[in-house]
Structure 1
């Protein structure tokens, strides 16, 4: 009969926890799903935290969960939006929709710039072992757009 001691049980529990944490981290590094700090491509300043989720079929969407710095105004609204998001609170707003995997990239979706109210085609890819997400918004062809590099939050 096998007998477990308290210290043996604690070591086994710790090993299971570390294995689960490593498995989750590895899964996160292969997908943009998670929490991201957006960085303004013009100023280099942090703007917001965006939560990207997978709907279960591999399609990603993302919403603003918190503004940062001067954008941390809970009552800020998308006054420039022209669609159903007109005058809606920016905090909690879905700004990324319809992103689908395309090899090691995600493409086919759209991203809203709540500052201008403009809707852009979007593509994204991971860098730095899944710790950075390069998000490109564009009109027409990808060459006519701009990119931001977002940083994964733990």
Structure 2
């Protein structure tokens, strides 16, 4: 009887320790620079799940040699399969939706069951995220089978819309 109680107590303490080591659900909230550095994404919690919007682009306007009078205009969601959405500016566009927080075995936390939008292709892909450390976020995007997907690393940054003093 004492052995069972000791074992049960040890299991409870171990599981509480594992949960204490996992980052809190809101740990991903903030601004993240994409791997290539040309964009900043703002991750927030919205209605019980996590979403992200594009808030900054290094080049947020069409170049001077753009066709059809687009030169100097804000970049648009031109590749969206829904023609009614092709005139939406990329800035402010929701790029990630539906992420749920889960703590996995060995206290590994993931934000999963989400989708990430690639405006360059006009397609949504399944995705999940995890924190490599406080400053680096890993995003894994895939179609159907996670093993065939691709992982990219984002870096936490201050809000790029606020001018530095």
- Give the TM-score of the pair, scaled to structure 2: 0.66
Pair member with larger Rg: 2
Stretches of structure 1 that go unaligned for 5 or more consecutive residues are 1-26, 40-44
Runs of 5+ in structure 2 lacking a partner? 1-22, 62-72, 104-108, 159-165
Q: Distance in 2 between matches of 1:137 and 1:86?
A: 23
2:93 aligned with 1:107: no
Residues 93-132 of structure 1, C-alpha deviation per residue, up to 9 Å, x if partnerless? Answer: 001000000110000111001111111001000012x210
Alignment of 1:80-95 (within 5 A): 80-83=79-82, 85-95=85-95
Runs of 4+ aligned structure 1 residues displaced above 2 Å come to: 27-30, 71-74, 83-87
**In the alignment, is residue 133 of structure 1 matched against residue 133 of structure 2?**
no
The number of residue pairs the alignment matches comes to 119
> What pairs up with 1:21-60 in 2 under 5 angstroms?
31-39=27-35, 45-55=36-46, 57=48, 59-60=49-50
RMSD (CA atoms): 2.0
